[in-house]
Amino acid sequence: MSVNVEKRTDAPGNDTHAEEAWELKERVRREEGVLKQRRGFFMDAYRRSTTYLLYEDDTLLGFASARRDGYILFLAVNPDVRGEGFGEMLVAEVADNHRSVTCHARTTNAPALEFYKHIGFRVKRRIDNYYEDGGGAYYLKLGEDGLRDKLSEFMRR
């Protein structure tokens, strides 16, 4: 991983990087058909949550927004830099700051489900009609099997 990766954080009430996060989310929506939340919902949720962002030379590599209870509202990595560990790094940030880490993922979003399972999430339940467009979701929780330690270690590298 490049040494120039810089971590930034928007605490609740702070939306300094919200516009750039929205633009990345919209690129992912257009290109991949996921992260379909509307702007009003996104901005409101962003302001209420803590967002962890990774930058390289002022380019946004990815971000994760988490609620106070460790529930991940949004997670996106720039399509140009996928598979380089940034998604795992963002989840590690959330895990370092929250005792429990949970999220929902579309039942049809196979890459995200594979990613979450690969880094230690387990499916807790399936919810039909979870999304506004009628799509179903899995509710996932990060396991307590030591992955937290692995992730923390990963962050200290």
Ligand X SMILES: CC(C)(COP(=O)(O)OP(=O)(O)OC[C@H]1O[C@@H](n2cnc3c(N)ncnc32)[C@H](O)[C@@H]1OP(=O)(O)O)[C@@H](O)C(=O)NCCC(=O)NCCS
What are the residues binding ligand X (CB under 6 A)? 28, 32, 34-35, 75-77, 82-88, 103, 105, 109, 111-112, 114-115, 118-119
- Least distance in angstroms from the C-beta of 129 to ligand X: 17
Q: 62-89 b/e with 16+ CB inside 10 Å = b?
A: bbbbbbeebbbbbbbbbeebeebebbbb
Sign for the CA dihedral angle at 79, 52, 152, 100 comes to negative
- Least distance in angstroms from the C-beta of 14 to ligand X: 22
Following DSSP, what letter does each residue of 68-82 receive, concatenated? Answer: TTSEEEEEEE-GGGT
When the beta carbons of 3 and 13 are compared against ligand X, the nearer one is 3
Parallel/antiparallel/unpaired status of strands 102-106 and 71-77 = parallel
When the beta carbons of 85 and 143 are compared against ligand X, the nearer one is 85
- Least distance in angstroms from the C-beta of 28 to ligand X: 5
When the beta carbons of 10 and 72 are compared against ligand X, the nearer one is 72
- Give the tokens for residue 29: 């929506």
When the beta carbons of 2 and 13 are compared against ligand X, the nearer one is 2
- Give the tokens for residue 98: 């929250």
- Least distance in angstroms from the C-beta of 32 to ligand X: 6
Per the CB < 8 A criterion, the answer to whether 17 and 10 are in contact is yes
